[in-house]
Amino acid sequence: MTVRVRFAPSPTGFLHVGGARTALFNWLYARRAGGTFLLRVEDTDRARSRPEHTQAILDGLAWLGLDADEGPVFQADGVERHRRDALKLLDQGAAYRCFCTAEELAARREEAKRAGAGYGYDGRCGRLDAAVSDARAAAGEPFAVRVRAPEEAIEWEDMIHGTMSFPAGSIDDFIILRSDGTPVYNLAVVSDDAEAGMNHVIRGDDHLSNTPKQILLYRALGRPLPAFGHVPLILGSDGKRLSKRHGAMSVLAYRDEGYLPAGMVNFLALLGWSPGDDREVFDVGGLIEAFSIGRVLKKSAVFDLEKLGWLNGRHIADAPAVELAGAVVEILGREAREEGRDLSETHPGLDSSPERLARIIDLVKGRPRTLSALARQVSPFFAATIRYDEDAVKRFWKRPEEAAFHLRRLAERLAGEAAFRDVQTLESEVRGLAAELEVGAGRVINPLRVALMGQGVSPGIFEVLEAMGRERTLARVLAAARALDAWIATA
Ligand code: GLU
C-alpha cells in the first residue's frame, strides 16, 4: 500500500504555526514512506474563504519547501459529489429527511437547556413513515438530510493517542445536507478523502470530535477507513493555547524576521515530535529519515521562541556562505534604500566582491540567530561609516578618556604592515600593548571591538582585525578616538 496523506487547510487566514506543523508531519510521513502528499484547500465556507488566504498558504508551504505531489485541489469543486454522497445515504436508508424547522430545533434546544440536559436531535423525523416522508418532500416541504447515528460505540486505533472510544449515544443523528442543499463539513471531508484514496489522516487534536462522525460516514458510504492520527495542540510558554501574543502566528512573518526555512522546519518538527534521543538539529533529509508518527507525543507541545532562535542560529552556522550572501545583500540593500541611498554608497564593495563577502560571512555566521543579525555582523566590514550601538558604548566606552588613549596607542602599534602579517601577530601586538599599559587585555579589546564593529559582539577580535585589514582598522580606530574626544568635550 502506498501512503497517501493530505494537508487540508481552510483559507480563512494565513498559514499559521499549527497548520504548518500539521502540513510538515504529513509531508514527512509521505516522504519517509515514499508516499503521496496532497494539498486540498477547504474553501466551502464561502463567507470566510479568501483567494488571498489561499495564496498566503501556498506561499507559506513553498517557503518551507513542503511541495505537494497532488493538488492543490479545491473542496468547493466537489460540491456535486458531496451532495450525491448525501443523497446516496438517503436512498440507502442510512440517512433520512428531517423536516424540523430551525425554529423548532432552537425551541427544543432551549427546552433541553432549561431542563439542564444536553441536547441531541431526538431522531423524530427518522421514525416517519417512508411514504409520509416521500409525500412531504414531493409537496415541496423543505428538508435537511440527517445520517442515522449508530447504536454502538465508535472506536478507532489512533496513530498517536492509541484506542479512542466514543460511547454509544454520544453522537446524535447529525445533518449532512442542509435544507438549502449545501453539504456539511464532515461529509465534504469524508467524500473528498475517500475519493482521493487517502489512507492516513493526520491532523490537529481540534478535529478529534469530528472523527467519530467521519468514521460513521465512511462506514455508511462503504468506503475503506483511513488510519487517523491527531497531533496535540501547541501551547504558548505560559501554558495557554498558542495565540498572537506568543509571537507571530504566520510562518511568513518568520521569513520576514530573518529565519531560514530549514530552521523553521526543524523547529516545527520538534513541536510535538522527538527522535527518541537527544538530537535536536536536523536538516530536512535528516528529518525525513528520523521521523516516525509513533514518536509524536500525546501531550501538548510548547512553542518556545528561544528554541527557534537557537535552532535557526545552528542552521545559519551550517549554511554555506554563498547561500547566505543573497539575504545579506538584500537586507543591507533594503536598509540603504530606506535611507534614500544606494548599497554601493553605504557598503562599497559588498555586492561586487563575492569572495570577500563569503569570507566575512564564514567568519561571523557562528553567532547570529537571524539573517538580520547576520547582516548586522557583516555590515561593519564593508560600511562606509560606522554607527556606534548605544548599549555597546555605555558598556565598553564607559571610561572614555581611557578608551581614547588605548585606541590611539593601539593605532600606533598596528601602524606598520608587519602587525597585520597574520592573526597570531595581531594577537601578540594587542596583548603586548595591554601588558605594556599594565591593564587586562579586555580594557584594550572591548573598546577596540566597539571601534571596529560599532557593536559589543563580534567573532574573535584578532580574526576581526585581520578581516578588516590594516587601512580600515586604523581609520576606524582613529575615528573612534575622535568620536570619544568630541564626546568628552561635550559631556
Ligand atoms: N480544514 C480543516 C482545518 O483547517 C482541516 C480538516 C482536516 O484535516 O480533516 O482545520
Same domain? 183 vs 269: no
* 165 grid coordinates: 472510544
In ligand 1, the atom with minimum distance to the C-alpha of 7 is 8
Which three cell numbers mark 261? 526555512
Please determine, for residue 491, whether its predicted confidence score (pLDDT) is greater than 80: no
Considering the domain architecture, whether residues 109 and 197 belong to the same structural domain is answered as yes
Domain boundary among 312, 327, 350: 312
What is the spatial distance between Cα 13 and Cα 15, in angstroms, rounded to a whole number?
7
Query: What does the pLDDT read at residue 429?
Result: 97
Task: Report which of 144, 207, 210 is spatially closest to residue 176, judged by C-alpha positions.
Answer: 144
Checking if the pLDDT of 373 tops 70, the result is yes
Here the cell at position 214 is: 467521519
C-alpha cell belonging to residue 52: 488571498
What SS3 class is residue 384? coil
In this structure, which amino acid lies at residue 312?
Answer: N
pLDDT exceeds cutoff 90 at 4? yes
Is residue 196 a contact partner of residue 38, using CB atoms and an 8 Å limit?
Answer: yes
User: Could you check whether the bond before residue 212 is cis, i.e. omega within 30 degrees of 0?
Assistant: no
CATH of the domain at 409: 1.10.10.350
State whether 86 and 165 are in the same domain: yes
Q: Are both 170 and 42 inside the same structural domain?
A: no
Residue 244 designated active-site: yes
Instruction: Please compute, for residue 230, the number of CA atoms within 13 A of its CA located in the half-sphere on the CB side.
Output: 20
pLDDT of residue 241: 83
Which of 5, 7, 10, 202, when mutated, tests ligand 1's pocket best, judged by the most ligand atoms within 8 Å of its CB? 10
283 in the same domain as 190: no
On whether both 105 and 250 belong to a single domain, the answer is: no
Q: What backbone torsions phi and psi does residue 157 show, to the nearest 5 degrees?
A: -95, 100
Predicted pLDDT at 248: 67
pLDDT for 116: 86
Decide which of 285, 312, 339 is a domain's last residue.
Answer: 312
Question: Is the pLDDT score of 130 beyond 90?
Answer: yes
Residue whose CA is at the smallest distance from ligand 1 atom 5: 8
The alpha carbons of the chain give a radius of gyration, in whole angstroms, of 32
Residues 404, 449: one domain? yes
Per-residue pLDDT of 205-238, as tens digits, reads 999 999 999 999 999 999 999 999 999 989 988 8
Burial class (CB in 10 A: 0-12, 13-18, 19+), 443: middle
Q: Is the CB of 9 under 6 A from ligand 1?
A: yes
User: Is residue 136 located within the same domain as residue 189?
Assistant: yes
Half-sphere exposure for 384 (CA within 13 Å, toward CB): 11
Q: Is the CB of 23 under 6 A from ligand 1?
A: no
How high is the pLDDT of residue 118?
Answer: 82
Which of 382, 405, 429 terminates a domain? The answer is 382
Is 80 exceeded by the pLDDT of residue 244? no
Tell me which residue range forms the domain holding 183: 77-231
Residues 6+ apart with CB under 8 A from 82: 183, 187, 188, 191, 192
Take residue 6 and report the three cell numbers written for it: 493530505
Question: How many domains is the chain built from?
Answer: 4
Closest Cα to residue 98, out of 121, 131, 120, 80?
121
Do 446 and 396 touch, CB atoms closer than 8 A?
Answer: yes
Instruction: Provide the pLDDT confidence category of residue 119 given band limits of 50, 70 and 90.
Output: confident
The finding on whether 42 has its CB within 6 A of some atom of ligand 1 is yes
- CATH number of the domain at 61, please: 3.40.50.620
Average pLDDT, the chain: 95
202 & 308 share domain: no
Shared domain for 447 and 480, answered yes or no, is: yes
For residue 398, which of 431, 439, 447, 445 has the smallest C-alpha distance? 447
User: Over 80: is that where the pLDDT of 301 sits?
Assistant: yes
- At 382, the pLDDT band (50, 70, 90 cuts) reads very high
The residues, ordered by sequence, that sit 6+ positions from 415 with a Cβ below 8 Å of its Cβ are 474
Sheet holding 70-74, edge to edge: 4-7, 36-41, 70-74
In this structure, of 40-54, 55-69, 322-336, 362-376, the range with the lowest mean pLDDT score is 40-54
| DSSP code, position 237 | T
Helix crossing, 354-364 with 371-378: angle to 10°?
110
Among 193-197, 351-355, 373-377, which stretch is predicted with the lowest mean pLDDT?
Answer: 351-355
**Are residue 48 and residue 183 in the same domain, yes or no?**
no
Name the percent of the chain in helix, strand, coil, to the closest 5: 55, 10, 35
Percent above pLDDT 90 for the chain: 91
Q: Full-prediction pTM beyond 0.75? A: yes
91 lies in the same domain as 217: yes
193 lines ligand 1 (CB under 6 A): no
Catalytic residue, chosen from 244, 298, 394, 398, is: 244
Residue 91, pLDDT > 90, answer: yes
